[in-house]
Structure 1
Amino acid sequence: MDSIYAYTDYREYLRDFLFEKKKKNPGYSSRCAAEKCGIPSGSFTRILNGTRGIGPSALPKIITWLGLRSREESYFRLLLRFAQCGDSFQKEKIYCELSLFRNQMRHCIPEEKFHFFEQWYYVALYELVKIVPDISDPAELGAMLEPVVSASKVQCAIDVLLNAGFIQKTDNGFTAAGNFLSTGDRWESAAIESFQKSMANLGAEALARFSKDKRDISTLSVSLSEENFREVTKIIREAREKIREIENSEVSPEKVYQINFQVFPLSTKPLEAK
């Protein structure tokens, strides 16, 4: 079954999801699905055939049945708004939002390949081969990384990237299989948590390893409401996308850079304090 981001009709997604359920379990029926969603069987059938919409009370249960989380849920809710919208101008705006979602998720890594993030230099090497596609010697590649990585570790990284399909062997070196890769906002993986810790540690070490003209490290402590915290995280997401746009337009990259974003609480709410 295609990713939810391939759909612009939520009913089509529901029908395909139910079809997949039936393929795996021939005894599974629309009635079973309706029971899972907590709605009458007839109502569920009318939702599928387009004669009835999804009400506010049924929506959370349908999302749970579909197993949607985070951005997938947001995308599904957007599909619902798109279907319900009768104003052509607003419908076009929502369609643009759907397109933005699909563009953002196009290069996301499947969870079964999250071992790509087990070591920081796996990611660094993936980016490095874009700059030096004609170098295949592990020792030479490792010497170009900051900090330097041994030839044996680089060879291991190359094997991981080749086996996962993230890079491909060429006559003289390697080529990346895409412009960029991302986990998206939804992930639950010890490998990614370890990767983020490694990059945070490298960021701290960069204070001593690089002069100020070769790095940009700054901090900001602020007091925010929960609403404005969400606004800040939205700004950071938009900044990430803007940086990706800059990378996509790059014609002569010279180095691999790591850009970290961190926002975390330094206090509790007064009522949460013990």
Structure 2
Amino acid sequence: MTVNIYTYSNYREYLKDFYSFKKQEKDGFTYARFSEAAKLGSPNYFKLIADGEKNLTSANIIKFTAALKLSDLESDYFEALVNFNQAKDFMEKEYYQKRLERIKGMTSGNFSSQKNLEEAEFESISNWTYHAVMILTNLADFRESPKWIAAKLYGLVTEDEAASILDRLMTLGLLKYDENGKVVQSFKQLKTNPELKKIGARLFYEGMFKRAIESFRLNKPDERELGAYMVGISEDQLPEIRRRVREFLAEINTLALENPKPERVYSFMFAGIPLSSNEEVKGDRPWH
């Protein structure tokens, strides 16, 4: 038994039920123990939030989701639920209500049809072209033809490579034939461990960024969206920034999956990379 967060419309009620469940499940679970796990200053902070005496801040939402041991999707739901309950005007409340509905939609129907790739599986299809071919099968005019696939991918793969990609995806069970004999995806979404650090992940992202560079040659400006900001941040801001990026990309993915008749395959990426080191510099000397 677990406490299903998706059944709640009030995060404080969820916290109360979570606490009751933990007390029954495990002896010794206390507010103080939760605060320690969440790295909160006050040992009674959980109770103050659950009882409505305090509101959760953005920084503490992150700490709560970690201590509650929520999945990425559950964390997104919890964050949206907190903001929905704490919203101060109708427009803000409506925005978060729609977000809650979208997230709940991802837990049922087509969105539950997903496969978590093991590291070995991911490494065997680490080239971006495998993933592009899988998405191509969703297009109305898709043809099980290496020549057609090669042309659709701007000739960046040969016909032999396209045939090999189809074979590999079929062998792995990631593509299949439907009742009409059409090649389709076996799963609506593929997911990997977000902490995947093996060589396959590196090759995948290297390939995607090389393909992004190719877009300057292959695509018109109005077919792509590129932008960059260089900003100064502190280390304690990074978890919140990363959470917002994941949330934004998940919303784009959800919006795209709602389209029953896709026409092209797109990749939306975000690159947040340190341009300066946080190592202490010793022995510096004046410019002049």
Q: TM-score, normalised by structure 1?
A: 0.63
Q: Which moved more, 1:143-152 or 1:197-206?
A: 143-152
- What's the secondary structure of 1:131's corresponding residue? coil
- Report the AA paired with residue 77 of structure 1: A
Q: Is the 8 A contact 1:117 1:192 kept in 2?
A: no
Q: Is the 8 A contact 1:136 1:172 kept in 2?
A: no
Q: Who is 2:176 aligned against? A: 168
Task: Assess, with a 3 A threshold, how the Cα gap between structure 1 residues 158 and 235 changes in structure 2: closer, same or farther.
Answer: same
- What's the secondary structure of 2:121's corresponding residue? helix
Compute the displacement of 1:194 (Å): 0.2
Q: Whole-Å Cα distance in 2 between the matches of residues 265 and 134 of structure 1?
A: 40
Task: Assess, with a 3 A threshold, how the Cα gap between structure 1 residues 76 and 266 changes in structure 2: closer, same or farther.
Answer: closer
Q: 1:197 aligns with which of 206, 217, 220?
A: 206
Compute the displacement of 1:200 (Å): 0.6
Q: Who is 1:78 aligned against? A: 68
Task: Assess, with a 3 A threshold, how the Cα gap between structure 1 residues 232 and 146 changes in structure 2: closer, same or farther.
Answer: farther
- Report the AA paired with residue 117 of structure 2: P
Q: Who is 2:163 aligned against? A: 155
Give per-residue Cα distances to partners, 1:156-179, cap 9 Å, x unaligned.
Answer: 111111121111024553101122
Compute the displacement of 1:187 (Å): 1.2
Q: Whole-Å Cα distance in 1 between the matches of residues 251 and 36 of structure 2?
A: 36
Q: Whole-Å Cα distance in 2 between the matches of residues 180 and 123 of structure 1?
A: 11
Q: Whole-Å Cα distance in 2 between the matches of residues 110 and 134 of structure 1?
A: 25
Q: Whole-Å Cα distance in 2 between the matches of residues 132 and 138 of structure 1?
A: 17
- What's the secondary structure of 2:249's corresponding residue? helix
Q: Who is 1:53 aligned against? A: 29
- What's the secondary structure of 2:184's corresponding residue? strand
- What's the secondary structure of 2:27's corresponding residue? coil
Task: Assess, with a 3 A threshold, how the Cα gap between structure 1 residues 168 and 230 changes in structure 2: closer, same or farther.
Answer: same
Compute the displacement of 1:191 (Å): 1.1
Q: Whole-Å Cα distance in 2 between the matches of residues 172 and 107 of structure 1?
A: 22
Are 1:248 and 2:257 counterparts?
yes
- Report the AA paired with residue 146 of structure 2: P
Task: Assess, with a 3 A threshold, how the Cα gap between structure 1 residues 122 and 75 changes in structure 2: closer, same or farther.
Answer: farther
Are 1:130 and 2:163 counterparts?
no
Q: Who is 1:115 aligned against? A: 123
- What's the secondary structure of 1:136's corresponding residue? coil
Q: How many residues align?
A: 207
Q: Is the 8 A contact 1:108 1:184 kept in 2?
A: no
Q: 2:217 aligns with which of 180, 200, 208?
A: 208
- Give the root-mean-square deviation of aligned CA atoms: 3.6
Q: Is the 8 A contact 1:118 1:194 kept in 2?
A: yes
Q: Who is 1:41 aligned against? A: none
Unaligned runs of 5+ in 1: 1-6, 10-46, 61-73, 81-88
Are 1:139 and 2:147 counterparts?
yes
- Report the AA paired with residue 68 of structure 2: L
Task: Assess, with a 3 A threshold, how the Cα gap between structure 1 residues 116 and 244 changes in structure 2: closer, same or farther.
Answer: farther
Q: Whole-Å Cα distance in 2 between the matches of residues 142 and 106 of structure 1?
A: 28
- What's the secondary structure of 2:114's corresponding residue? coil
Compute the displacement of 1:265 (Å): 0.6
Give per-residue Cα distances to partners, 1:224-247, cap 9 Å, x unaligned.
Answer: 111222222111111111101111
- Report the AA paired with residue 109 of structure 1: N
Task: Assess, with a 3 A threshold, how the Cα gap between structure 1 residues 249 and 56 changes in structure 2: closer, same or farther.
Answer: closer
- Report the AA paired with residue 257 of structure 1: Y
Give per-residue Cα distances to partners, 1:136-157, cap 9 Å, x unaligned.
Answer: 1112122111343212111111
- Report the AA paired with residue 51 of structure 1: D
- Report the AA paired with residue 252 of structure 1: K
Give per-residue Cα distances to partners, 1:203-252, cap 9 Å, x unaligned.
Answer: 11212221111111111111111122222211111111110111121122
Q: Whole-Å Cα distance in 1 between the matches of residues 236 and 270 of structure 2?
A: 19
Q: Which moved more, 1:50-59 or 1:133-142?
A: 50-59
Unaligned runs of 5+ in 2: 4-22, 39-63, 71-80, 86-99, 283-288
Give per-residue Cα distances to partners, 1:30-51, cap 9 Å, x unaligned.
Answer: xxxxxxxxxxxxxxxxx99643
